[in-house]
Amino acid sequence: MTKRQSTYIATGREKEVFRSAWQCGLPVLLKGPTGCGKTRFVQTMAEELARPLITVACHEDLTAGDLVGRFLLQSGDTKWLDGPLTRAVRTGAICYLDEVVEARADTTVVVHPLADHRRELNVERLGEHLLAPDEFMLVVSYNPGYQSVLKDLKPSTRQRMVAIELAYPDPAIEVQILCNETGIDEALADLLVRMGQAIRTLDHEGLAEVASTRTLVSTALLIKAGLPLREAAEAAIAGPLTDDPVATRQLLELVKAYVA
């Protein structure tokens, strides 16, 4: 299977803001719902700025040591292994901490000196203070609608960053994305986008998330692979979005309405 080349299609001036932040040595906070293109946006900007990208998928067990590095025992010897954040600082890469609030609170202690005028990473176990080169950039993301109050970013962290808010694209742009990403025709892409728009208006407590651009791309890929539209939509949209029987039934009825 040949991988199709993909690009991020801007919906506003997010590229200009990101590029200006990089030139000024400022970190960026990406806000937006699940599947709206935050990761794709960072990948595209790293390519346009000709910088390597190191991505960290944050989770509740991620510690500051995981980001900075640790000593490991290898063949009877103790050796230091840089973590992804340290590698990014040393190489002048863009370090992307995806869903940063999922990580343990001690990670912000490491991030703060990098995110202000100091642009410094303290590697305590090595006794090193690494000054980030001009090319280095810190990018973090989170989903304000999904995170609980207990997992929100602290004001002291947020105020160190330039915020870029992303949302699901306008229908015309979303149609273009589906065509570019999957190779389906415009009529089918338009139908899927209209279906996605309808799902995003549903209000049901069993539906924590809505049909993202990502789920629409997955649906289109299944159709491209030979699945009927209804079966593809049920597998890539209705199934993953909820386990609630009432919400599932509501989604399936909506899918049937667009397939009929």
Cα atoms found within 13 Å of the Cα of residue 230, Cβ hemisphere only: 9
In a domain, 78, yes or no: yes
Q: Report the range of poorest mean pLDDT among 18-27, 206-215, 223-232.
A: 206-215
In a domain, 128, yes or no: yes
Number of domains in the chain: 2
Average pLDDT rounded to a whole number, residues 223-245: 92
| Last-in-domain residue among 119, 150, 165 | 165
Residues 64 and 179 in one domain: no
Average pLDDT rounded to a whole number, residues 180-193: 95
Range of the domain at 179: 171-259
* Helix intervals (H) in the chain: 14-24, 38-48, 64-68, 84-91, 107-115, 155-158, 171-182, 186-200, 213-224, 229-233, 239-241, 245-259
Q: What is the pLDDT of residues 129-147, one digit of tens each?
A: 999 999 999 999 988 765 4
Task: Please state, in angstroms and as integers, the Cα–Cα distance from residue 169 to each residue in 33, 113, 230, following that order.
Answer: 11, 34, 23
CATH number at residue 145: 3.40.50.300
Residues 156 and 180 in one domain: no
| Last-in-domain residue among 120, 137, 165 | 165
Residues 217 and 36: their CA atoms lie apart, in Å, by 11
pLDDT of residue 149: 42
pLDDT of residue 144: 79
86 residue type, one letter: T
| Last-in-domain residue among 165, 196, 217 | 165
